[in-house]
Each structure stands twice: as structure tokens, then as C-alpha cells.
Chains A and B, each alone.
Chain A
């Protein structure tokens, strides 16, 4: 530790401030979890622990149906966006137009959900009308409903939302990989797939799994774009928000909010723990490799 900088007390205070800030940012979510276990709900003088509000969620058919749609969206978004992120990161490494590529893949981060959602909604409605007009011109109904608001449009919105995160996570992991290793594998007779699967993939695997985890969380968290683009079905967050806006924060809203938080905390927490363990083991491995050389 760099003890030469500043006093120990200042250093500890800075640590305390950092941890306090993380705790403060987590406080509202933790408070919601705390309320979700109170039989008497928010603001009650009495606190009796209960799981009842969670039971309500899992017996509500509307919610279970919405949860099913969210899961389907999460799986399909992950299956599409992670390969997209990987290809995009590989494309970035080879292209000469790096600034433009980064700008395209990262700019959705800077476009608020309401604005992108509105633009996509109008885009899909126009596209749908154009295809229907084309169908009418052909004298059949082949292209009817292709771009109606629904699962596909919601999926597109989610892919655009998740792609910047996936791209950056994979790019960070790839930064540690040296392309000479692929060249060496190819020189040893491996084909492109073997070089990728046996040499590169094991080294970027952590990034790819993290990207999958991020995508699932982002899909569960997302509301704005999906609510504008989903058409007739409901997702978990759209039911939650409509319940909160129409009926206020009910006891089951607290439980539903907590459930979404558990998923995020469990997945991100696991990533953090796995990262810590992995870094630790890599350091141990590096120390072990260095030991005999130093001894000799």
C-alpha cells in the first residue's frame, strides 16, 4: 500500500467515504427489501416478519405470465446480443475506423430510453404501414404484421439497450488478450475456429459470461423502451410500474421491487466474488511461478 501518500487517518477516511457512498446508493433498495418483509407494510409502527407478500406474487397469474415474457425476452436477447457484442469487439480490433465504430456501439448509452423508445415506436409503426401497403400492392397479406409492435420490436429495443454494455465488457476482457497467440496457434496448424475456441475463448470466457449476466439483468430491469415497444403483452417491470403508478406502493409492489433487486444483486454479487477469487488465484499462480526463478 502506498503509505508514503498522506496520513493513515486520511487514507482510512477516504476508504470510509467510498464505502459509505456505495452503502448510500444501495440504501433505498435495501429499505424496500426491509419493508417487503413487514406484514404491516410501509409506515406501520409494528414490524412483523413475513413472506406473505412474496407468496402473493407467486400466486398472481398476471405476474407469472409477465415473468414468463420477461424470461423469454431475457433468453433471446442474451442469445443475440452476446454474439453481436463479441463480433462487434472483434470488428473494432480490426477496423481502421475505430472512432466511428465506438461511436455507433456506445452511443445508445447516451440516448435516454424515452427518446429512443419513442423514435423506435414511430419507426416500427411506419415500417408496419409500409409493409402492409406493399402487401396490398401485391394483392395479398404476406407482409401484414411483420413489424407490428410486439415481441420483435421489444427485442430490438432491448438489443440496442444491452449492446453497449456487452461490447464494452468483452472489449475490456479482450484488451488483455494478445493477437500473437492466435497467430502462434495458426502457425502450429490450428484453423481459425480451433484458434478461437482453444486459445482465445478460454481467456475471454469470463467477459462473455459476465456479458450474459449483464444482459439478463438489463432485460429484467428495463422498463421504458419495452413498455413503449411491447405491444400487447406485459413484462414484469411494466406490471410493477403500472401497479405503482395506479395504486401507489402496495405491499406486493415492495416485494416485486425486492425480487428484481435480488436478481441483480445475486448476479452482480456472484460476478464480483468470482472476479475476486479468480484474481486471487491468478496472483497465487503468478507468485508460484515466480518463486523457483527467484530461488534459483
Chain B
């Protein structure tokens, strides 16, 4: 016998109120995430005033960005982020493959969970903590000198692009493992057995089978690292030394200088880069495939 409708049913059931409640998080995201980000394009063409901005149409902020050293800095930070993506892929993706192929099914998630530990330590702490590790009298130099590998401390790591790349890899590598593993989880294990039965070597299996099938996960991990490397101001600020800049730092510096249209132009450029990458990735690899193991 069907039970009378409860309070929960009345609120979340098939009434207009229920349907509205089910859409509340979506409405929140539209109001406070999608609309502000979309409006960055509008605000970026506003005119700058002394302390704020006023409605109008000017491309001054874009001209300011594209004809100054900011563009060069942006392109340099893109290069660093791309290098970080490659390093994170080389270091992290083989772990996703190893765990999926060689670790028993029941233990796979436990191994991946281990990477949650460094990922959940505050990003700020992870970035700041690299200073005492990498600096002149830091842990790395002390160990290298104690072992007799170097006689002088290495000073070309911290406050250089190398320091920023190390920071990006250390901060975001777990995400490559997570996204890679999620993509590998969508592959049935018999695929590897078929490859072995057909006599495909390790390299051929990796290049012709694993890479194309895991491409959505690899792409998602790569975009995450690339965009965050471009956008997190703390990385060049703390590890890059004077002159090291990325898009996030340009935006926050513009806000500090009360140049809001410039900050919004940088945000708009970042959003365009991100949307472009995600669109290309989705067209090439169908990014929804990553979620197939969990849905």
C-alpha cells in the first residue's frame, strides 16, 4: 500500500518546490560561478577610473596586455606549465597504469588513496615548504653535500623557472594519478591480456592501446595542471623570484593596483584558454568517458 507523502516527499518530491530544490545547487553555480566568469568578458572592456571602473567599451586592457611584457610573461608561464604537464605525466601516469594492471582489484583504490594525502595538504604549505627544502642551506643541498655529490650548494633551483616547475609538479602530480587511474578504470583488464596474447610489446601496448583509451583522463589531468600552473599566483610569487609572473599573478597585481578592467581581461583570456582546451579535448576524446566508471 503506498504510504502518505512525507515532509521530505513534499519538499523533494515531484512538486514544483521539489523540482526547484533539486535544482538549487545548479542555480547557485549559475548565479555565483558561471555568471561572474561570463561577466569578466563584459567588465574587461569597461573603462578604468581612479578606484574602480565605469561602463563603456574600450579594448585598452587587452592592448595593455598584448603589447607589454605581460604577454611575454604569460607565454613563458604557458611554457613552464606545459613542461610541468609533461613531467607530471612521465612521473604520474605510469603509476595509474601499474595500479590498474598489476595491483589486485581490491587494493587498487587503497593505493590511489595514498596520493590523497599529499594532495590534501594545503597548497600554500606545500609551496612554502619547498623553500626550506630547495634553498641554499636547505634539505636538498645539505644532503647532496653531506653525501659528497656536490661541493657547493646548488643555487639554480629556487627563485628560477626550475623552482616554479618543481612547485607545479609537486603540487599537481596527484591529480594526474587520479585522472589517469579513473581513465584506466574504464578499461577492462582483458584488453591487456588480449595485447599480450597477440604478442604486442610493452611500448606498442602503451602507445597503441593504453594511450588512446586513457586519453580523456590524461587530457583532463593535463588541463588541470596546465591551467592551475598558469593561474595560481603563489607559485611564481614564492618559488620564482623577481620577474617570475603568471596569469594569476598579473590578475591579482592588477587588482592591487586597482586596475580592475585589466584583471578582468586577464581572467577572460584565461577563461578563453581553458574553454578552448576543454572544447578541443572534448571533441577529440569525449571527456565524459572519464566518469563512466563512477556513473
Contacts and interface: CB of A to CB of B under 8 A. Distances in A.
Interface string B261-295: 00110110011001000100000000010010111
B94 to A, nearest CB: 8
A138 interface: no
B40 A240 contact: no
Contact of A171 (B109, B278, B294): B294
B17 interface: no
Interface stretch (B8-16, B62-70, B155-163): B8-16
Interface in A91-141: 91-92, 94, 98-99, 101-102, 104-105, 107-123, 125-126
Interface residues of B, number: 96
Nearest to B37: A119
Contact of A193 (B6, B52, B101, B139): B6
Given A18-B99, A104-B30, A114-B251, A28 B117 contact: no
B174 to A, nearest CB: 7
A117 B228 CA distance: 13
B251 to A, nearest CB: 5
Contact of B132 (A32, A101, A214): A32
B210 interface: no
Interface residues of A, number: 99
Contacts of B278: 110
A113 B231 contact: yes
B211 interface: no
Contacts of B224: 109-110
B163 to A, nearest CB: 12
Contacts of A85: 25
Given A224-B233, A240-B124, A21 B91 contact: yes
Contacts of B2: 186, 189
* Secondary structure class of chain A's binding surface, majority of residues: helix
B28 A84 contact: yes
B3 A194 contact: yes
Contacts of A101: 26
A65 interface: no
Given A118-B252, A118-B264, A119-B37, A112 B111 contact: no
Interface in B74-106: 91-92, 94-95, 98-99, 101-102, 104, 106
A268 B260 CA distance: 39
B150 interface: no
B227 A220 contact: no
Q: Which of B122, B230, B264 has the most chain A CB within a 10 Å cutoff?
A: B122
A123 B231 contact: no
Contact of A29 (B24, B129, B131): B129
Contacts of B223: 110
A191 B117 CA distance: 40
Interface in B151-175: 170, 173-174
A17 B111 CA distance: 12
Contacts, number: 273
A240 B40 CA distance: 30
A91 B23 CA distance: 7
Given A110-B274, A114-B231, A275-B113, A105 B29 contact: yes
Interface stretch (A47-55, A56-64, A71-79, A258-266): A258-266
Contact of B170 (A19, A25, A240, A253): A25
* Secondary structure class of chain B's binding surface, majority of residues: helix
B28 A22 contact: no
A121 B99 CA distance: 42
Given A91-B25, A114-B233, A192-B12, A279 B106 contact: yes
B22 interface: yes
B36 A193 contact: no
Interface string B206-236: 0000000000000000011001101111100
B120 A217 contact: yes
A193 B7 contact: yes
B251 A29 contact: no
Contacts of B123: 221, 223
Nearest to A172: B294
B227 A118 contact: no
Contacts of A5: 101-102
A84 B8 CA distance: 15
Given A28-B130, A29-B121, A125-B52, 9 more contacts: A28-B129, A31-B129, A35-B132, A122-B40, A123-B32, A168-B294, A191-B8, A257-B128, A265-B121
Query: Nearest 6 A-B pairs (CB), nearest first?
Result: A112-B231, A193-B8, A114-B248, A28-B129, A221-B122, A25-B118
